[in-house]
Amino acid sequence: MHRLVVSGTEAGPGEVRHGTVRVGNFADGTPLEIPFILMNGTKDGPVVYVEAACHGSEINGLEVIRRLVTQELDPGRLSGAFIFVPVTNVVAFNHRMGHTLFDQENMNRVWPGKQTGGMSERMAYHIWEDCIKQADYVIDLHTGNSTLVPHVVYMAGKARSREMAKVFGIEVLVQEEVDPAWKEKRFGGKLRNTADEAGKVAICPELGGNQRFEEPRIIEGVRGVLNVARWLVMIDGQVEYAQAYRVVQQAHLTQVKASKGGALIFRVKSGERVVKGQVLAQVYSPRDFSVLEEVASPMDGLVIMTADNPVVHTGELVAMMGAILEEF
């Protein structure tokens, strides 16, 4: 197996090494650096990059990576290599926030970063240049909220990425389509999309909620990464596919919002299949408990997520929907 070198840290065949990507420093002189882990196998094979906590509050992936490194993977029996970044946005992570505090930026909109940019752009730039450019495959671990249906996102038209999404072994696959709203929301700056455009194979598993470790989602994440390693013949064993799959269209997922402020009573749950016009939730007034609005589904499809907090203002999210493209 070839030498694996990232930011001056080298892992020889069969070795695990820890290092940091240096980005800069904070005002008090504390270094701004991002830790990584190299796991180099003893035989030739692909290089897989796995990151978590690009949004600092999305931490299930951190525990997924810990278990992979300390319990599941043996570099002595590995073909190829892994580059792990357990906490990608260390600034947001330390503030328990999704976005970077100092530049108010969403780090997953600025890939591949910018050497002379703001803090988020610089973190992305150094990780991209030092870590991701060496990889053939990219797995970007994210979460949503506590009601989120676990799913794996891939870019439409990228057959190899779709196959890797399927291999991850979660029932719902979300196919992301490019449209004007996609461009307006800067989705081209998401890691998986930037990696795809750079010729890599990339997916984004969405595993549960924020600010907590959720054991079922962590188990799914560990199994998913191991499935990818088996698919790439990096480790022994058979891929554990889901029993059935549903492919959902995202452009981005249809957001259903409240027209009236109040409290929500949901009539459906995440993961349910609904028809256009079906009532998703009622909004009632905290003043007199009258029903102010029945929020209806704008489409036939799958409920991907419902609001965590049942108290909503006018214009706030009630649910996210996706149109079902195929089932197999």
pLDDT digits (tens, 9 = 90+) for 18-68: 999 999 999 999 999 999 999 999 999 999 999 999 999 999 999 999 999
Task: Report the C-alpha gap between 71 and 137 in whole angstroms.
Answer: 22
Do residues 48 and 84 touch, judged by C-beta distance below 8 A? no
The pTM assigned to this predicted structure is: 0.96
Domain with CATH 2.40.50.100 in the chain: 253-327
pLDDT of 98 reads 97
- Which positions ≥6 away from 96 have C-beta within 8 Å? 56, 57, 211
In one-letter notation, the amino acid at residue 294 is: E
pLDDT of 1 reads 61
Burial status of residue 85 (CB atoms within 10 A of its CB: 0-12, 13-18, 19 or more): buried
Percentage of residues in the chain having pLDDT higher than 70: 99
Q: Is 247 left (phi over 0), alpha (psi -120 to 50) or beta?
A: beta
Domain with CATH 3.40.630.10 in the chain: 4-244
Please, what is the average pLDDT of the chain? Answer: 96
4-244: CATH number: 3.40.630.10
Task: Single out the residue of 79, 55, 54, 52 nearest to residue 67, CA to CA.
Answer: 52
User: How crowded is the C-beta side of 157, counted as CA atoms within 13 Å?
Assistant: 6
Task: Single out the residue of 304, 161, 151, 155 nearest to residue 221, CA to CA.
Answer: 151
Task: Report the C-alpha gap between 224 and 166 in whole angstroms.
Answer: 10
Task: Tell me: pLDDT of 251 over 70.
Answer: no
Does domain 253-327 fall under CATH 2.40.50.100? My reply is yes
